[in-house]
Structure 1
Amino acid sequence: MLWKVLTRAGTALTAGAAAVALATVPASAAGYTAFAFSRSGTTEPTIYDFVNTATSSLDMTMYELQDTTAVNDLIALKKKGVTVRVILDRQHQSENSSAYASLTAAGVGVVWSPSAFVYTHQKTITVDGTTSLILTGNLTSQYYTTGRDYGVFDDDSRDVASIEKVFNADYAGTSVTPTDGDHLLWSPTDSRSRLVSLVDGATKTLDVEELELSDSTVVNAIVARAKAGVAVRVVLETPSDYAGEVSSIKAAGGKVVGYSDPDGFYIHAKAMVADYGLSTQAVEAGSMNISSNSLSSNRELGLILTGTGVAQSVATTIETTFATDFTGGTAA
């Protein structure tokens, strides 16, 4: 089995029960290989190469699809006889209209996302029903070299089966209650409780990199960890948009930096690393922002890996990138 990480410049549980759920995720469920996604855009072909490995099927759920190379690759796969199915966010029909029209004209199965969710903000590609790429960023070319995002290739069979089950339901517009496989968290099902459990489990350090920071339950959990003496660091896009939350974290002893330049580096990531390098280590990346809408009303997908075994390279890639972004940010 193979996991890879990219970085690029896009039913509630009790806290105790959620902590147990995290602790019991099998550390040996898959192998993990991490790599950095260059802000120069030179490693963008990593995604294209993955798409083009499809021999029988490709299923994509994407909030925004504005990458003509990716669209053309999907069309080429269709012409080769691969079954290609795409879900695009219905609230972004103007942004996705070109991709939708091109795919439809080529005979690719493409639908608008279910109206049951405010947004389908998930960004996932599954190839041949065996490997899924879970992204924090969209397939939007203009942001490839200017934004911070992460992604993970996941070929854990239970994870992929869960992702495909949800895809099939969302594609058909039918209801489904997602299951977490070995490593997943979903909105609007359990993402909030899973994130809070990760935060609550931090004993020494907690690093958080986010576009949005407004959900009071998750923010309060971060503040509580800082008050408990955990070294909390946050990298945030536009800290002034979350002045109250930032003040609370700083008052508790945490540190927050931001970027906030609309023409410069853009923190679009959604990731956390707790207790880096320790036996209690946990790392999270996914499409969900720390906002009530994202956690309660959207279709979102992420994953959490625990421990320091075969998953270490995933944590190292995200933590190393986070450290660079933290150093380069402006103190809030």
Structure 2
Amino acid sequence: MRRFRPLLYFVLTLALLYTFKQGFYQERVIKEAPFPSPASSDHTFFVEPEDGREPVVTALREAKESIWLKCYLLSDQKIIDELIKAKQRGVEVKVILEKDPYGGSKLNYKTKRYLEREGILFRWASPEFALTHEKSIVIDRKQAFIMTLNLCSSSFKNNREYGVITACQEEVEEVAKLFEADWKREKYYPQEPNLVVSPQNSRRKILGLIKRSKEKIWLAQLLMEDEEIIAALRRATKRGVRVKLLLASPDRVPINKELPFREEGIQVRYLRKPHLHAKLINFDSEIIFIGSQNCSAPSLNLNRELGILLTDKDLITRLEKIFVKDWEKGQER
């Protein structure tokens, strides 16, 4: 019997490891459900260029304890001034910006000098990500902004953009924890089912929602170049889902000139004015995604990005009206 003890111990060890692994996997699946929880009345949204800076400026002015801001680009002087005023009245202000935006813009370096001169806590985004393209603000750990827009003057004047303001405490906490992790450059695994986070779960969640759609998928996107998303949309049309894709003008985004699915049942139009920088997807009028994620492999797989899934019927109805208006203005090529 003694001869078999090592083998017995080895088998028992494997069994324990398998049990632990299965338990860990099940716990992660339970904690991070793939689809959103039921609707609440804790969400509002704003749309650009119609609403201008006011939603953001008002929140910054009313902050009492803390402002945590993470953005790809921050150059709007009025927003910068409000951050400085908040710091001067005793609010903790922390800012994370992308150090090397695409195209080599140095706007964030100028902003960094402004903020640090006023004693605002500042850090460059973690190099762990190809880019930090997220656009979010946490106010007093009581509300969070999840946006498609960079904080630049063009976003408020010339672009079609969306911003969601959530007061749902679970969502606010998740955005805050994500900020803390990126501030400390630590790993963080999102657990809130309504949030869509790159690189951890954006691809899985968006593909899952496309796969389960039955009637329609409406997309308003800066661009469309992710092969897996394109393939999923093709499959959706083959099972009878009506797909509308509204894109930015090829004059602004040349890659939009070459689309591989014109004859495959996907309706495509281009919005020239305002410039379409938003990222919105409507699944069956039941769930709407709004976030920083573009439909590209780097955005879904490599960047730090943040979006939210909305199920509030009133918000969906209002967002659909904006999409329809833009769709009617859109042009076919």
Q: Give the shorter-chain TM-score range.
A: 0.7 to 0.9
Select which of 89, 113, 117 maps to 2:129. 117
**1:285-304 counterparts in 2 under 5 A?**
285-304=290-309
Look up the match of 2:154: 142
Q: SS at 1:126's partner residue?
A: strand
Residue of structure 1 aligned with 2:255, choices 241, 248, 257: 241
Residue 155 in structure 1 maps to residue 173 in structure 2: no
8 A Cα contact 1:212 1:237, kept in partner: yes
The total of aligned residue pairs comes to 299
Q: How does 1:61-210 map to 2 (within 5 A)?
A: 61-92=70-101, 94-172=106-184, 174-210=185-221
1:257 deviates by 0.3
Query: Which TM-score applies when normalising by structure 2?
Result: 0.84
Q: Residue 33 of structure 1: CA displacement?
A: 5.2
Q: Deviations over 1:157-208 (max 9, x none)?
A: 2212121111112112x22133141410100001011111111121111100
Q: Aligned partner of 1:143: which letter?
A: S
How many angstroms does 1:247 deviate by? 3.5
User: Aligned partners of 1:103 and 1:66: how far apart in 2?
Assistant: 11
Return the alpha-carbon distance in structure 2 between the equivalents of residues 271 and 66 of structure 1. 24
Specify every segment of 5 or more residues in structure 2 that has no aligned partner in the other structure, as ranges: 1-24
Distance 2:155 2:66 in 1: 27
Kept in 1, the 8 Å contact 2:207–2:229? The answer is yes
Q: For residue 287 of structure 2, what is the aligned residue in structure 1?
A: 282
Q: Supply the AA of the counterpart residue of 1:170.
A: D
Query: Deviation at 1:217?
Result: 1.0
1:116 deviation in Å? 0.7
CA displacement, residues 10-49 of structure 1 (integer Å, 9 cap, x when unaligned): xxx9xxx89x9455x3314x31454553535x54211100
Contact 1:63 1:120 (C-alpha < 8 Å) held by counterparts: yes
Residue in structure 2 matched with residue 270 of structure 1 by the alignment: 279
Q: CA deviation at 1:329?
A: 0.9
CA distance in 2, matches of 1:205, 1:128: 38
Q: For each residue in 1:113-156, what CA deviation from the matched residue of structure 2 results, as whole angstroms up to 9, or x when unmatched?
A: 11111110000000011110000011101231211111101122
What is the root-mean-square deviation in Å for CA atoms of aligned residues? 2.1
Mapped to 1, the partners of 2:318 and 2:226 lie a distance apart of: 26
Runs of 4+ deviating beyond 4 Å: 32-36
**RCO (CA 8 Å, sep 6+): is it higher in 1 or 2?**
1
Distance 1:300 1:285 in 2: 11
The answer to which of 99-108 and 162-171 deviates more is 162-171
User: Could you say which structure has the larger radius of gyration?
Assistant: 2
Task: State the distance in 2 between where 1:88 and 1:274 align.
Answer: 31
Amino acid corresponding to residue 314 of structure 2 in structure 1: S
CA distance in 2, matches of 1:35, 1:113: 26
SS at match of 1:66: coil
Give, in whole Å, the separation in 2 of the partners of 1:256 and 1:56.
Answer: 46
C-alpha contact (below 8 Å) 1:158/1:182 kept by paired residues: no
Secondary structure of residue in 1 paired with 2:157: coil
Q: Percent identity?
A: 26
Which string of whole-angstrom CA distances, capped at 9 and with x for unpartnered residues, describes residues 209-253 of structure 1? 101211111111111111211111010014562455x342x3221
**In structure 2, C-alpha distance between the alignment counterparts of 1:243 and 1:81, rounded to whole Å:** 50
Secondary structure of 1:322 counterpart? helix
